[in-house]
Amino acid sequence: MKKCLESVKIHIGQLHASRKPVEIFTLLGSCVSVCFHDPVSRIGGMNHILLPGKADLEQFDQSARYGINAMEILINRLQKEGAVKRNLRAKVFGGAHILRSVNEANSPGKRNLEFVFRFLEIESYPVISMDVGGSNARKIYFRTDTGDVRLKRVPAMYFGLLRREERRFTRQVKYELGKDGKVSIFTDI
């Protein structure tokens, strides 16, 4: 009997890296996912970026919702699993323009893609595959051992659900940024 492959679903602001064969999947609208794969060690991982840039770490934890955090945390986890940084190859997905109330030139999807491609270029990670932009949501299935990706287009009837989820996470991030951080003071006794 054939052994079933473990599946891991990631949501906005999450990521997963694995040494063992796993299929990671997520649903993307204006968010972007980068799938990294080391073909030598057969280790891979994927993130789900909501916003470009980085979290204010003085007020907030290391959130993978933000581009720089999501990229660096994922790369560090991959290395922890045994991947070699110079072997990593990237596949990029998402960045759709689904919020019709926002000008396409300023859309979250476009800004996310600009950030991701700039990061990959600066860090010299080759992009070997992509399906980005446009107005279609996507469901991505990524195999950590082979680096293979299956992509399913999401019908427009589900955009309302996707927009609500993205807005809810954006409001949550803004709320958390506004909260006071925890402070620990150490004194010699």
User: In this structure, are residues 86 and 78 in contact, taking their beta carbons and an 8 Å threshold?
Assistant: no
Q: What is the pLDDT along the chain (189 residues), one digit of tens a residue?
A: 456 789 999 998 899 999 999 999 999 988 999 999 999 999 999 999 987 766 555 544 456 667 888 999 999 999 999 999 999 999 999 999 877 667 777 788 999 999 999 999 999 999 999 999 988 899 999 999 999 999 998 876 555 666 677 677 667 766 665 655 544 444 444
Q: What is the sign of the dihedral through the CA atoms of 100, 105, 106 and 109?
A: positive
pLDDT at 67: 82
**The model's pTM:** 0.78
List of domains in the chain:
6-178 (3.30.1330.200)
pLDDT at 4: 75
pLDDT at 25: 97
Residue 27's closest CA among 134, 107, 117, 139? 139
